[in-house]
Amino acid sequence: MGSVAEVDLTRLRVEYGDTTALAGVDLSVRDGEFFTLVGPSGCGKTTTLRCVAGFEEPTGGRVTVGGEPMAGVPPEARGVGVVFQNYALFPHMTVGENVAYGLKFADPPGGVGRDERVADLLDLVDMAGFEGRDPGTLSGGQRQRVALARALAPGPRLLLLDEPMSALDARLRERLRVQVREIQQELSITTVYVTHDQEEALAVSDRVAVMNDGRVEQVGAPRDVYDAPATRFVAEFLGDNNVLTGEVRASTAEGCTLDVRGHALRVPPCDAAVGDRLTVCVRPEDLRVGGGGENRLTVAVGSAEFLGDTTRLHCEWEGTPVTVRADRDPTGTVTVGFDPADVHVIG
């Protein structure tokens, strides 16, 4: 521990026969960062993580950790701790023995004894006193905390987490993700986290990489990626969004006017020229039922989902689905309004 552990992936490619799992991934994870790979099933998240861990030899490109090339370095010599989706605890060993197994290839850091190290880690993951328990008697969340303690036991410079919470129920997942984040911050350990759950990614990460079809679409802080998606895919993958495409009718330093299905929409200034096609998006929470704002759409309300703190309205505008967040659920036809400043231009 204490060593610098930034991770650099350069033009990483992985092919399985005719399947291209990674089509040239470039990423830099900073030392001490909680970095999340998020994207739909099959987009290459796990393959990326396996290349960093050393379980997968890339077909092309390279992985460096702390500036050291990892080609040919076996997993146990990389200084990484890994936690997988399914609880990989040994059923015939106690909780304490499982954590101690993490020290099979390495002495405990800081010159402490094995028993002390095991006790410290169980304390860290809030499982003190469970040393003698059989993993079969633990809840799913407890087992994943033991798996985390085992991964951390040798003091890795890098923690890799592959959907560690996906088998848990929603409430427990929320609790555990907060705990994992706190532990990560306490240890300042560089962490690469894989999830398909966009809400989870936004909630815990310093930065996220949104992946699609073996490529990285965008990297950034959660709020930046949410507010300013670089591509239509990112706009639609992270949270609800309304994506509209139109033709530029006017473009000045004050803003652009777009023709979308015969309606004029004002959007922020951008470097598009008159006649260009432009794709923009506006979040459901920025649409106001009743029509406040420079832009107005008359939408037909289809269905409403009551979400507790808000209601999600599924509407239709000129044959295009439009999602609106509202504090009531109107029926029939309503006007929704929004300001040009709340529109994000994708390009």
Q: Which chain residues interact with ligand ATP by CB under 6 A?
A: 16, 19, 21, 39, 41-47, 196
Closest distance of CB 44 from ligand ATP, Å: 4
Closer Cβ to ligand ATP, 5 or 21, answer by number: 21
- Considering the complex, state which of residue 48 and residue 98 has its C-beta at the smaller distance from ligand ATP: 48
Pick 38 or 289: Cβ nearer ligand ATP: 38
3-state secondary structure the chain: CCCCCCEEEEEEEEEECCEEEEEEEEEEECCCCEEEEECCCCCCHHHHHHHHHCCCCCCEEEEEECCEECCCCCHHHCCEEEECCCCCCCCCCCHHHHHHHCCCCCCCHHHCCHHHHHHHHHHHCCCCCCCCCCHHHCCHHHHHHHHHHHHHCCCCCEEEEECCCCCCCHHHHHHHHHHHHHHHHHHCCEEEEEECCHHHHHHHCCEEEEEECCEEEEEECHHHHHHCCCCHHHHHHCCCCEEEEEEEEEEECCEEEEEECCEEEEECCCCCCCCCEEEEEECHHHCEECCCCCEEEEEEEEEEEECCCCEEEEEEECCEEEEEEECCCCCCEEEEEECHHHCEECC
Of 19 and 252, the one with the shorter C-beta distance to ligand ATP is 19
For ligand ATP, the closer of residues 33 and 163 by Cβ is 163
Taking the complex as a whole, the smallest distance from the CB of residue 83 to ligand ATP amounts, in Å, to: 15
Identify which of residues 59 and 311 has a Cβ nearer to ligand ATP in the complex.
59
Q: How far is the CB of 181 from ligand ATP (least distance, A)?
A: 21
Min. distance of Cβ 52 from ligand ATP in angstroms?
12
Q: Which is nearer to ligand ATP, 13 or 296 (CB)?
A: 13
Smallest separation, CB 48 to ligand ATP (Å): 7
Smallest distance from the beta carbon of 19 to ligand ATP, in angstroms?
A: 5
Q: In angstroms, what is the minimal distance from the CB of 209 to ligand ATP?
A: 12
